[in-house]
Amino acid sequence: MPKANELKQGTAIEINGEPYVVKKIDVRNPTSRGATTLYKVRFTHMKTRQKLDETFKSDDMLKAADCSRETVQFSYQDGDTYYFMNSETYEQYSLSADDLEGQTEYLSDGLEGIMLLLMDDAPLGIQLPSTVTLQIIETPPAMKGASATNRTKPAKLNTGLEIQVPEYIESGEMVKVHSETGKFLSRA
């Protein structure tokens, strides 16, 4: 049974006997003394695709949904459909762009370590690895004398994701990105 502060995008939770998957988490830290951190979570119903917004305190206990998980890798995209393959059984699964809301920008060819959520053998969603390695395709030139300071510049990655990177990073470099926050972590 996970606590609210342990939730990640793609986690399957049971609310009122119905299966939901976490789509977005917004953490609110109140400024008053003694106030507790609040987690505003957007869920999507695993079968009906209806959205549900709930707010939890950090130590609220939630019930994990009864679904199976398989490790898969991203194979390819065809229009709005994304295909995944189980590396052991070679079984193919497909999910629509709506099912992967907010996660498609982290999918690159051959990405491994993805957890596929299945209920009654039907794919419901994915849970990305915590870090993904992507290539920078466009960023302003590196600045002469740029050091490891906190100054950043925008960079467009090969999946279309735009992030802020340190000034010394150049186009063509591979970088590690945190899949939950979308922040630059390091060079790959």
Q: Residue 185: is its pLDDT beyond 80?
A: yes
> Is the CATH number 2.40.50.140 carried by domain 132-187?
yes
Q: Residue 96: is its pLDDT beyond 60?
A: yes
Domain ranges of the chain: 4-64, 68-129, 132-187
pLDDT computed for residue 137 by the predictor: 94
Q: What is the pLDDT of residues 58-79, one digit of tens each?
A: 888 888 887 888 899 999 999 9
d(Cα 54, Cα 82) in Å, to the nearest integer?
A: 28
Spatial neighbors of 3 by CB under 8 A, at least 6 apart, are: 58, 59, 60, 61, 62
Q: Which two structure tokens, joined as six digits, stand for 51?
A: 């959205």
Closest CA to 152 of 174, 167, 173: 167
What is the SS3 assignment for 104?
Answer: helix
pLDDT band at 57 (very low <50, low <70, confident <90, very high): confident
CATH topology agreement for domains 4-64 and 68-129: no
68-129: CATH architecture? Beta Barrel (2.40)
d(Cα 65, Cα 112) in Å, to the nearest integer?
A: 24
User: What is the enclosing helix (H) or strand (E) of 138?
Assistant: strand 131-138
Q: What is the pLDDT of residues 11-48, one digit of tens each?
A: 888 888 888 888 888 888 877 776 788 889 888 887 78
Q: Residue 121: is its pLDDT beyond 70?
A: yes
Q: Are 41 and 24 in contact (CB under 8 A)?
A: yes
Q: What pTM does this model have?
A: 0.74
Q: What is the pLDDT of residues 132-173, one digit of tens each?
A: 999 999 998 876 665 656 788 999 999 999 999 988 888 999
Q: Which residue has the higher pLDDT, 176 or 127?
A: 176
Domain 4-64's class?
mainly beta
pLDDT computed for residue 83 by the predictor: 94
